[in-house]
């Protein structure tokens, strides 16, 4: 069983920028490599919700993977095993929300989570670097677009 860690990019906006979430899900494969549809995979959807100064973590177990309102997703890794998923879940829940910063957002929270989990050695260096670079590019583009819209 492999577990995947993705960052989902929403069409929904908060203060002019897209909301980002984290999806951790397992893919159960049969010996022939095809997904085993008879076994129920684990899915968890993590989201930074709330308003400035009052953000909190929302976690939905067995969430439908990538709901329809998500425009894109960036895979960070596909190499997690079942034990790592439980440890990752615990580590992710310990990453604090910055409820002192008026510009804190779900995007900044995602970067905080990625950095913390990378420091805990959940992601291989190369996979982390690629995902982080893609997300940084997307974040910068979205912030510029929001500034131009405002």
pLDDT digits (tens, 9 = 90+) for 41-66: 678 889 999 999 999 999 988 655 44
Query: Is the separation of the CB atoms in 7 and 21 below 8 Å?
Result: yes
Cβ–Cβ under 8 Å, residues 8 and 75:
no
The predicted pLDDT at position 11 comes to: 82
Provide the pLDDT for residue 57. 96
Q: What is the model's pTM? A: 0.83
**Cα-to-chain-centroid distance, residue 63:** 13
SS3 77: strand
Say how many C-beta atoms besides its own lie within 10 A of residue 97's C-beta.
Answer: 19
- What is the phi/psi pair of residue 105, to 5°? -145, 175
What percentage of the chain has pLDDT greater than the value 90? Answer: 47
* Tens of pLDDT, residues 97-145: 999 999 999 999 999 999 999 999 999 999 999 999 999 999 887 555 5
Strands 70-80 and 2-14: antiparallel
């Amino acid at each position: 069983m492999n577990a995947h860690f993705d960052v989902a990019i929403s069409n929904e906006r908060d203060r002019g920028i897209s909301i980002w979430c984290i999806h951790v899900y397992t893919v159960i494969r049969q010996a022939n490599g095809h997904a085993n549809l008879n076994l129920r995979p684990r899915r968890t959807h993590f989201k930074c919700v709330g308003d400035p100064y009052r953000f909190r973590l929302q976690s939905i177990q067995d969430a439908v993977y990538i709901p329809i309102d998500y425009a894109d997703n960036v895979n960070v890794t596909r190499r997690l095993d079942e034990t790592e998923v439980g440890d990752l879940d615990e580590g992710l829940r310990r990453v604090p929300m910055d409820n002192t910063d008026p510009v804190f957002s779900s995007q900044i929270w995602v970067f905080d989570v990625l950095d913390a989990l990378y420091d805990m050695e959940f992601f291989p260096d190369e996979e982390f670097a690629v995902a982080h670079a893609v997300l940084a590019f997307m974040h910068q583009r979205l912030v510029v677009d929001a500034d131009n819209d405002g």
